[in-house]
Every structure is written in C-alpha cells, then in structure tokens.
Amino acid sequence: SWAASVVIVIVDYHTHSLASDGALSPSELLSRARASGVSKFAITDHDTTAGYLSVKDSDDARAVGLISGVELSCKWATASIHVVGLGFDALAPEMQAMIETLTAARRARASKIASRLEKAGIAGAFEGATALAGDSQIGRPHFAAWMVEAGAVGSVTEAFDKYLGAGKPGDVKMFWPSLAEVVSGITASGGIAVLAHPLKYRLTGMKLRALLNDFKASGGRAIEILNGRQTDVDSKRLLQLMESTDLIPSVGSDFHREFEYGPRLGIDVGRLPKGRYIWEALEAVL
Ligand code: AMP
Ligand code: MN
Ligand code: MN
Ligand code: MN
C-alpha cells in the first residue's frame, strides 16, 4: 500500500553539547537524537571537537549516522561569523591547529570580556565564568549564566541585551581568526565549510552578498537554509540566497537545550523544499 512506502528521514547538521554551550553531555545528545529517529547527525560545538571525539565510536553514534562537526568562530569585516565544518578528519593537523588557536582566542576573549564587565561595575566575572565553564569551551553563555547566578542580571536574556550582545561591552571579536582562515582550515582537513545562520548577522543585503562572495572565494561550499526555529519569510529569503549563489543547502536545529520556544532536535527532510542537500555532497568526502 502507499503507506508502506513512506520513508521518514530525519537529519540534523547543527547541534551543541556540554563540550561548548549546550546543556546535554555528548552521549545524552546522541541518545536523544536516536530517540528522535535521526539518521544523519553532527555535533557542531563552538570551536571544539572534544564532544564529537568522545562519542564517535559508540553504538548511538552509528545509529544516528554521526559524522564529524564543529562550529568555528571568525571575523569578517566588523562582524562575528560562524562557519560549520562537516565531514573533516578531526585529527588532521590543520583542524587541530585551528582548534588550538580558537581555544586560546576564547581564553583571551574571556579575560577581555571580564575586564570590560569590571569597568561596567561587575567584578569577578573571569573566575565566575571559567568556573562555570569547567572543561567546556568557554563562551558568552557561561558569562550570562554566571551573571544571573551572581545577581548582576535577572536573566540570560537581560545579560545579552545589556552586556554581552552585539554592540555591547562583552561583544569582543578582536581575537577571532579571519573567515578565510577558518574556511581553509576546514577544507584542508577534508571537510565541507557551511555558512551558519546567514540572517543572524544582521547584515544589509549588499553586505550579505559580499560575505557570500568572500565565503565562496575562500572555498566555502554550503549555506544553512534552515537554522532552528525560523520564520517563513526568512526561509524564503535563504532559499533565494542559496539559489543565487549555487551553494549547497544545509539544515540544523542549532539545539542547545530544551526550552519552551526552542527548536526540537532533528529536521524532517520531507518538509524541506526538494533539492540536492549537504548529505549528498558529504557522501563524496566521507
Ligand atoms: P560565543 O560563542 O561565546 O560568542 O557566544 C555565542 C552563543 O551565545 C550563541 O551560540 C548562542 O548559543 C548564545 N546566545 C547568543 N545570543 C543570545 C541571547 N540573546 N540569549 C541567549 N543566548 C544567546
Ligand atoms: Mn551557542
Ligand atoms: Mn552560531
Ligand atoms: Mn550553533
């Protein structure tokens, strides 16, 4: 019957674990993905592959079709940009060097963020945020969580709105490598570079096109046309952008933690516009 021929494929190429700013351990994340029926999956922590490496040989990893992943931070003009890397050799020297550079950058940035917060009247942030981060790759969410804990703000949202978000004192990007450097690092390690959430940088149409041109010129090959919860207007815009630049579409929940209005893990491929997606391109590199 027709019903028997319906195959549901669920994928997710953008997720976070406790190795960066996600709430679940890498193995909890995998078992949740497995329970959600995911068959193609990547853990794309900020500037670390530690979470991926710790679970890559597990039973759940095979069940969800886990491939290598990372979300690298970089700067382009005056903007902080995120580039997702997929299907690379995690032990390639170019990738390991990139992650070492970014780990040092995050430490230096954390200290700069703390000194800026101190000038804004909030002392002790470096110790507080690094203690909360522990072995995780430190980021602004750890500062936000500490600021809530310390009573400096009432919520994580308030911490970003007042101190950590774009244009605020804690928005430090001087330590990031360039867009070209991170894209090259991914490509040299045998992976595919994906421009993450292109509409989150709040660039004008003209600047966004310039970013896409530079991304492609550096060897970038794919673009997220779906990132987490997204409006239909944004989906349409991203589809047009993708079509006008012949980049390969990628999709991901950008899952960090479960919350009421947050994205669910896994994307049903049947709900996506027809096309040739990242998983087909990945077959050639894996
Ligand atoms: P970082 O990687 O240290 O630059 O921090 C960026 C991360 O902070 C993003 O990946 C999100 O997980 C989180 N984030 C950014 N903006 C907000 C916000 N307004 N509220 C909560 N979390 C945010
Ligand atoms: Mn994050
Ligand atoms: Mn991101
Ligand atoms: Mn992300």
Ligand 1 and 269: CB distance under 6 A? no
Backbone φ and ψ of 43, nearest 5°: -95, 115
Ligand 1 and 157: CB distance under 6 A? yes
Ligand 1 and 109: CB distance under 6 A? no
What is the side-by-side order of every strand in the sheet holding 38-42?
Answer: 66-67, 38-42, 10-12, 267-268
pLDDT of residue 71: 99
Nearest alpha carbon to residue 181 among 103, 72, 47? 72
Instruction: For residue 140, give the ligand 1 atom closest to its CA.
Output: 3
Ligand 1 and 155: CB distance under 6 A? no
Nearby residues of 218 by Cβ (< 8 Å), 6 or more positions away: 179, 180, 183, 184, 193
CA atoms within a 13 Å half-sphere pointing along the CA-CB vector of 53: 12
Q: How far is CA 135 from CA 19, 122, 144, 154, 173, in A?
A: 7, 24, 17, 26, 22
Which three-class secondary structure state does DSSP give residue 56? coil
Ligand 1 and 71: CB distance under 6 A? no
Q: Where are the alpha helices (DSSP H) in the chain?
A: 26-35, 50-55, 59-64, 93-119, 125-133, 140-149, 156-159, 179-188, 205-217, 232-245, 278-285
- Per-position pLDDT tens, the chain of length 286: 566 677 899 999 999 999 999 999 999 999 999 999 999 999 999 999 999 999 999 999 999 999 999 999 999 999 999 999 999 999 999 999 999 999 999 999 999 999 999 999 999 999 999 999 999 999 999 999 999 999 999 999 999 999 999 999 999 999 999 999 999 999 999 999 999 999 999 999 999 999 999 999 999 999 999 999 999 999 999 999 999 999 999 999 999 999 999 999 999 999 999 999 999 999 988 8
Q: For atom 14 of ligand 1, which residue has the closest CA?
A: 141
Strand partners, 250: 224
**How do beta strands 79-86 and 10-12 pair?**
unpaired
Strand partners, 80: 75
For every residue of 78-93, which 3-state class applies, written as one string?
CEEEEEEEECCCCCCH
Q: Which of 14, 153, 160 to mutate to test the pocket of ligand 1 (most atoms within 8 A of CB)?
A: 160
Query: CA 207 to CA 153: how far, in whole Å?
Result: 34
Residue with tokens 């970089």: 74
- Cβ–Cβ under 8 Å, residues 23 and 115: no
Ligand 1 and 14: CB distance under 6 A? no
- Cβ–Cβ under 8 Å, residues 231 and 179: no
Instruction: For residue 256, give the ligand 1 atom closest to its CA.
Output: 12
- Which-ligand-closest: CA of 44? 4
Ligand 1 and 256: CB distance under 6 A? yes
Single-letter residue type at 85:
G
**How do beta strands 38-42 and 66-67 pair?**
parallel
Ligand 1 and 165: CB distance under 6 A? yes
Ligand 1 and 140: CB distance under 6 A? yes
Nearby residues of 93 by Cβ (< 8 Å), 6 or more positions away: none
By CB atoms closer than 10 A (0-12, 13-18, 19+), residue 47 is buried
Q: Which of 140, 182, 257 to mutate to test the pocket of ligand 1 (most atoms within 8 A of CB)?
A: 140
Judge if pTM exceeds 0.75.
yes
- Which-ligand-closest: CA of 140? 1
Instruction: For residue 142, give the ligand 1 atom closest to its CA.
Output: 3
